[in-house]
Amino acid sequence: MELEFIGKLTLQLILGFFSLLIITKILGKTQISQVTPFDFISSLVLGELLGNVVYDKEIHIFVFLYAIFMWTFLIYIIEVITQKFRRTRSFFEGNPSILIRNGQIDFHQLKKEMLDINELMSLLRGRDIFSIREVQYAILEPNGSLSILKKSKYDTPTKEELNIVNKEVYLPVAFILDKEIIWENLNACGFDESWLRKELEASGIKDINEIFFAEWKYDEGLHIVPFREKK
């Protein structure tokens, strides 16, 4: 009996895992990176559906699949509606709130968002700002993050303002991860194993197993992090 239950539970977990994975692929990354109130509710319901089917023996796996399909369909429809009809976005996604305007705290918006001054200061410190005097505008986004526009005298100067010549920016590419060569990255940059080994020997490394991580950058060459076991 226990083996039958374990087998059923295993099947439910596998189906639930891949169902949620497929849903995430269908709905995009907003369920993870931009947690609006609507996304938060949908994530809770999906988790609850999976939890019920795992712990409640009376719920059949096909009932779970039907419920999760219907919920996904509803979320997808809402996403389509918000994309096509701009006026529906404020209801489903929420609107940003200006908490600090022209350097002055908007206490009405602060009260509307159920925030006190301590919570506001905590959000500011999360953005490396320790004084309200530095802020020209602070906007609370629908996903709960705080966007900041600093006053000009506290803002970081740009290279143009400092008359610094702009340099080309290059993306670093990993060539070795966990003592394993990433061949597709190496070949995509126009190099081969012979070139890599010469570079490693020039740094005094003879064995790939000595390397934990290595990345290459066009303007800086190869950067190597050796593998060191804990003693």
119 contacts 109 by C-beta, under 8 angstroms: no
152 phi and psi angles, rounded to 5 deg: -55, -40
Count Cβ atoms within 10 A of the Cβ of residue 212 and give its class: 0-12 exposed, 13-18 middle, 19 or more buried: middle
- Specify the pLDDT at position 33: 45
**How far apart are alpha carbons 25 and 15 in whole angstroms?**
15
Q: Are 97 and 139 in contact (CB under 8 A)?
A: yes
Q: Which residues contact 99 (CB under 8 A, 6 or more apart)?
A: 105, 106, 109, 110, 113, 115, 120, 138, 139, 140, 146
Q: CA-to-CA distance for 162 and 181, rounded, in angstroms?
A: 41
Whose CA is closest to 27, among 94, 91, 82, 66?
Answer: 82
- CA Rg value for the chain: 26
Contact 132, 153 (CB under 8 A): no
pLDDT at 157: 81
Distance CA 96, CA 144 (A): 9
pLDDT at 30: 45
Q: Which helix (H) or strand (E) holds 124?
A: helix 117-125
Per residue of the chain (231 residues), what is the pLDDT tens digit?
A: 566 666 766 776 676 667 666 766 665 544 444 455 566 666 666 667 666 666 666 666 677 677 777 777 877 787 788 788 877 777 776 788 999 999 999 999 999 888 888 999 999 999 999 999 999 999 998 777 899 999 988 888 877 777 888 788 888 999 998 889 999 999 999 999 999 999 999 988 888 888 999 999 998 899 999 877 554
CB 45: neighbour CB atoms within 10 A? 15
- The pLDDT value recorded for residue 31 is 45
Name the token pair of 218: 């066009």
Q: Under 8 Å CB-to-CB from 100, ≥6 apart: which residues?
A: 106, 132, 135, 136, 137, 138
Angle between helices 2-27 and 37-55 (to 10 degrees): 160
Letter string b/e over residues 100-110, b meaning 16 or more CB atoms within 10 A of that residue's CB: beeeeebeebb
Tell me, what's the pLDDT at 20?
A: 63
